[in-house]
Amino acid sequence: MKYNRCGRSGLLLPAVSLGLWHNFGDVDDFKTGRAIVRRAFDLGITHFDLANNYGPPPGSAEKNFGKILKQDLKPYRDELIISTKAGYLMWPGPYGEWGTRKYLLASLDQSLKRLGLDYVDIFYSHRFDLKTPLDETMSALESAVKQGKAIYAGISNYKPEQTTEAAKILRQFGTPCLIHQPRYSMFDRWVEDGLLDVLEKEGIGCICFSPLAQGLLTDKYLKGIPKDSRAAKPTGFLKREQVTEAVRKKVAALNELAKKRGQSLAQMALAWVLRDKRITTVLIGASKVKQLEQNVAALDNLSFAAEELNQIEKILS
């Protein structure tokens, strides 16, 4: 595994991190999830990313990961970076979502219980809340850190100007913002439009989620929608309608280019995200151990010739 420094902090994160949004809920096969986590750790993936609402049902991914921690990884707690988040809908009533102190701190306590942990390594505000003062949301992250329930604070899905403001507030509190978690892949490039510049300026690390566009940036949908794929599953966030002919055409062209590089398309897509030095780590998902192994092997070839990057731009445009 290759480890990259997270922004201007001292923390090293693996270039490939594993997220538990899909494949770890009560609707999924626990044995497979357990095998994926164990293999990930053996491959040097020290960072596992969760959120209060991952499942389904919400909370079940944390509960199942807690079980794996207890069974397998307990002796290695100090070798692990475990994150969780709060921001999306978790329980009924006015205190079960968004960015108040009430919600964030109650949610973190619930997450720790499900995970069976005393603390997480990173606690995130999962989304910006227009109706709560940012000072209040950031003060909840600061309190979590000061109470020893989180080691670092992070933000996710914040726009560039919201990120600048959050970083300023957290710095004033003496709890610097460690990391930002945005979506970034060949198919979704919004971070290039200002966010990466802000992160570099503020010294904040960047962990990019859905770098494979939920599986679209692999060869799996080239000949249809496989039965065991995310797009086919009723609980999957990726919908069949998103696998369009236009997407397939681009993916087929990217796939040919990846073959010429001696990589799978998944590997090329991950290497492409990591080409920018401001990216700390790609946050992947996996439904099978084999996918995880293939994705980690992307690190064997991270360099791109200028001509290859040009070709990718042409295909994507």
Residue 21 touches ligand NAP, criterion: CB under 6 A? yes
Residue 157 touches ligand NAP, criterion: CB under 6 A? yes
Residue 212 touches ligand NAP, criterion: CB under 6 A? yes
Give the number of residues in contact with ligand NAP, rule: CB under 6 A: 30
Min CB(188)–ligand NAP separation in Å: 10
Binding positions for ligand NAP, 214-253, rule CB under 6 A: 214-215, 218, 220, 229-230
Contact partners, residue 183, CB within 8 Å, separation at least 6: 157, 190, 191, 208, 209, 210
Min CB(293)–ligand NAP separation in Å: 9
Q: Between residues 201 and 288, which has the closer beta carbon with respect to ligand NAP?
A: 288
Interface with ligand NAP by CB under 6 A: which range of 95-103, 158-166, 207-215, 299-307?
A: 207-215
In the numeric block, the tokens 């990589």 are attached to: 263
Among 86, 286, 296, 299, binds ligand NAP (CB under 6 A): 286
Residue 28 touches ligand NAP, criterion: CB under 6 A? no
Contact partners, residue 10, CB within 8 Å, separation at least 6: none
Q: Between residues 124 and 173, which has the closer beta carbon with respect to ligand NAP?
A: 124
CA gap 123, 143 in Å, rounded: 11
Residue 187 touches ligand NAP, criterion: CB under 6 A? no
Residue 206 touches ligand NAP, criterion: CB under 6 A? no
Give the binding site for ligand NAP (CB under 6 A): 19-23, 49, 126, 156-157, 181, 209-215, 218, 220, 229-230, 266, 283-287, 291, 294-295
